[in-house]
Amino acid sequence: MRTCFDPEEAEEFEAAKDLLIRRCVTWAQEHGHPVDDLLLSAAVDARHESRDGRLAYWDGASIRFFLLRYVPYKVTAPREELDLAPATLRTYLRFLDVTGLRDPRGATPAEAEEIIDGTRAEYSAALDDPTLRGVATFWAHTALDQGVDLTVPGAFERFKRDLDAGRVPYDEQVLDQIMQNRFLYGGIEEERAFPQPPISLPPASELTEAAARSKTVQRLITLADWAGKDGRALTAAGNLRVADALEVSALLGTGEDGLRVRSATDLPQLNLLLAWAKKLRLTRTSKGRLFRVAKAAPLLRDPEALWRRAFEVLPELGRVVTVPVTTWRPEPILAEIFREILPDVLNSMYGLDDMPVVRLEETVWLACEEYFVLDQENERLRDLWRREVAQDLGRMFEVLSDLGAVELTRGPADPLYASDLDEVFSPEATERLRTALAEPDLPLIRLTPLGLRAVRDSLLTDGRDAPLLGELATAPPAELLGVLTQHYPPQDATTELQGWLARPGQNLETLLQAVRDCPFRTRVAAMLRVLAEALPGRRLLHDLRHDPVLGPAAWTLLIDDGEMDPGSLSEREHLLMGAENFLSMLELAGPEGLVEQLRGMGGGDAYGFVEAILASGHPDVVGLRELRELVAEPLRRTARHPLRLVPTRRPGDRGRRKKRKR
């Protein structure tokens, strides 16, 4: 049972969604919890359509988005049904929790329910506001208001004909506002982001010390203290006097105090620090003087908090980071798209070591060509622009290095960075890169631990999945294994699992019991696989051969790996393994898909196959019930002459089954 699918995996997602809804509705009815199929489907869709696509991950932002944006924008139903959305979401999150499907990195069950309760008034107000609807939802609600039963085939088409003929009244002002909102803010659709690799970070104390050592943090504190509460005089143009600019440059250690300049604006590093301090509200100008902001004192006493804030506002400082060259251009190219380029560059470095700077230069130039209409005919001018972008990018890296977000070194490039050039770049750029990457001493760049943490924080804020090794150390066993099976490469899964097992009270038996308790056969197989690969010796599956619950799954994996001979199974074990496979197929293909496959495999005897499976004694009670109700019954109703499989054992005929008429 996967809970994350790529956008291209439409069929796989729909099968998983049907399974989730079917199981959740049954569970809710058995336990007396309110549930609505339509709203449950919308909840699953909302997470699938999100930036990270994790169906079982729900935090405060995703809960509020679903209730306050997604449902009003996308879901069409009578008001009394829409009012059930908070209760249905609560039921769904409880179901994820009790079945072990919940992603433990989201809100806890208690936190989630508190958030849902806290949105009730806002949710009601959102439903009352028709301008929050999408265009399609607006027309669907208009049809409902006209008494159109949208469940009747052809009803909406007839409504559209009446609408085109001018026979349907509607609120033109609301529609105009909806169209304006879409033009100004876009819809609620989110583009799926690439999953990020797990990273590790040093202890928090080391990150705090690193922030205090940051050259930029120290300079910002020094600059604010130099300005002081009494302030420093400014020129009529609002700049520092040259003498004061050279004085503070010496204090800051920028190396600009020895320059002969006519204006303080000729000192680029000082200009950047002044702009940075102003953006952070460490300093302010008033009545011709530069002052330290009194309310900034707590931030100035906390280097780590100051570092975080300095990193957050850096994308807004593109004009002063990218020092303009002396050309006719009024603005450097990189400055105009700095807010977009800086996060993209940092994200591309995330989780990688020693990236060649020249590779990033070509990537950024490629982005510039997409953002701007450049003169394609003037090759000399384009080459000049490309070199200027590379120069400005180098300045950006120096600023990030002074901040302590990146580390600049030199050395040979990893062959990885030359392996996909033809797939990404033009022939001209590919040739440039091949030549450059062959050099033995290249400028290289990597994120520091401070930079890694900051980029990860921004990824999480953007709704992306960014695993951190160690964050699952206290996760419930089922939820731990569920995340490892889907979001961690084998080596990182081993690291995370060993860390989990190292904590008191957390052992292999608790993990195995979580697997036994899992009500989804495909998830059981994935959990066992990650355990078998992560534990030394890989004897786990062999040790589980005689486990009454996990045996069939272990046999299947061992046979798939070629470590077990199918002929070594008894008749009853063959039947149990067949049940394991049938129940897995039911989860993956859905009832209709399994019925079709069985008919193709067994023809008129398909019902007999299923009847034998139902009598196998497989421990998956929930799966067998679904198999009986959703697969066996349709097959029985269409069977020509129902048959029963009776296991028999004859000398020299292991594993064969004999058919007998009832």
Instruction: Give the residue, 569 or 375, on which the prediction is more confident.
Output: 569
Per-residue confidence (pLDDT) for residue 397, from 0 to 100? 97
What's the pLDDT score for residue 146?
87
Res 654: pLDDT: 36
Least confident of 435-439, 508-512, 646-650: 646-650
Do 35 and 27 contact (CB within 8 A), yes or no? no
Confidence of residue 647 (pLDDT cuts 50, 70, 90): very low
Residue 70 sits at the vertex; the CA angle it makes with 65 and 75, to the nearest 5 degrees, is 155
Asked if 609 contacts 602 with a C-beta cutoff of 8 angstroms, the reply is: yes
Q: What pLDDT, in 10s, does the model give residues 98-120?
A: 999 999 999 999 999 999 999 99
Burial classification of residue 607, based on how many CB atoms lie within 10 Å of its CB (0-12 exposed, 13-18 middle, 19 or more buried): buried
8 Å CB contact between 455 and 342: no
Contacts of residue 174, Cβ cutoff 8 Å, sequence gap at least 6: 130, 131, 138
Q: Are 10 and 529 in contact (CB under 8 A)?
A: no
Q: How confident is the model at residue 657 (pLDDT cuts 50, 70, 90)?
A: very low
Token code pair at residue 297: 């004192």
- In this structure, which amino acid lies at residue 474? T
Q: Do 204-310 and 322-458 have matching folds?
A: yes
Q: Model confidence over 242-281: pLDDT tens digits?
A: 999 999 999 999 999 888 889 999 999 999 999 999 999 9
**By mean pLDDT, which of 418-422, 450-454, 509-513, 647-651 is the weakest?**
647-651
Residue 650, pLDDT score: 36
With a cut of 60, say whether residue 643 has pLDDT above it: no
DSSP H or E segment with residue 657: strand 657-660
- Give the pLDDT mean for 5-12: 94
What pLDDT was estimated at residue 326?
A: 46
Task: Specify the pLDDT at position 539.
Answer: 87
Q: What is the pLDDT of residue 344?
A: 94
User: Residue 602 has what pLDDT?
Assistant: 64
CA 626 to chain centre: 32
Rg of the Cα atoms in the chain: 32
**Confidence category of residue 324, pLDDT binned at 50, 70, 90:** low
3-class SS letters over 356-411: EHHHHHHHHHHHHHHHCCCCCCCHHHHHHHHHHHHHHHHHHHHHHHHHCCEEEEEE
377 has a pLDDT exceeding 90: no
From the list 530, 458, 444, the residue with the least C-alpha distance to 490 is 530
> What CATH class does 204-310 carry?
mainly alpha
pLDDT greater at residue 70 or residue 383: 70
Distance between CA atoms of residues 216 and 213, nearest Å: 9
The gap between the terminal CA atoms of the chain, to the nearest Å, is 36
Give the pLDDT confidence score for residue 653 in this predicted structure: 41
**Quick one: average pLDDT of 325-330?**
50
- Output DSSP code: residue 132: G
Q: What is the pLDDT of residue 457?
A: 96
Would you say 452 and 197 are in contact if contact means Cβ atoms under 8 Å apart? Answer: no
The residue among 450 and 606 whose pLDDT is bigger is 450
Quick one: pLDDT at residue 242?
Answer: 94
Binning pLDDT at 50, 70 and 90, where does residue 185 land? confident
> What average pLDDT does range 592-615 have in this prediction?
83
The closest alpha carbon to 268, from 252, 279, 284, 280, belongs to 252
Residue 645: strand, helix, or coil:
strand
Do residues 391 and 384 make contact, with C-beta atoms less than 8 angstroms apart? no
User: Residue 550 above 80 pLDDT?
Assistant: yes
**Range name among 299-313, 329-343, 641-655 with the lowest pLDDT average:** 641-655
pLDDT digits (tens, 9 = 90+) for 288-317: 999 999 999 999 999 999 999 999 999 999
What proportion of the chain, given as a percentage, has pLDDT over 90? 74
Percent of residues, the chain, with pLDDT higher than 70: 94
Question: Strand, coil or helix: what is 267?
Answer: coil
CA-closest candidate to residue 610, choices 634, 593, 588: 634
Mean pLDDT of all residues in the chain?
Answer: 91
* Residue 49 near residue 462 (C-beta atoms within 8 A): no
Please, is 346 exposed, middle or buried when counting C-beta atoms within 10 Å of its C-beta (0-12, 13-18, 19+)? buried
Query: CATH assignment of 322-458, given 1.10.10, 3.90.1690, 2.60.120, 1.10.287?
Result: 1.10.10
Does the pLDDT at position 388 exceed 80? yes
Decide if pLDDT at 660 tops 50. Answer: no
The confidence band for 469, taking pLDDT boundaries of 50, 70 and 90, is: very high
Residue 608's pLDDT is what? Answer: 82
* Confidence band of 378 (pLDDT split at 50, 70, 90): confident
Average pLDDT over residues 591-608: 81
Given a contact cutoff of 8 angstroms between Cβ atoms, the answer to whether 68 and 122 are in contact is yes
Predicted pLDDT of residue 45: 97
Average pLDDT over residues 116-143: 94
List the chain domain ranges: 10-134, 204-310, 322-458, 477-564, 571-660
User: Starting from the edge strand earliest in sequence, which strands make up the sheet with 355-356, in order?
Assistant: 355-356, 442-447, 406-411
Residue 64 has pLDDT above 60, yes or no: yes
pLDDT of residue 538: 67
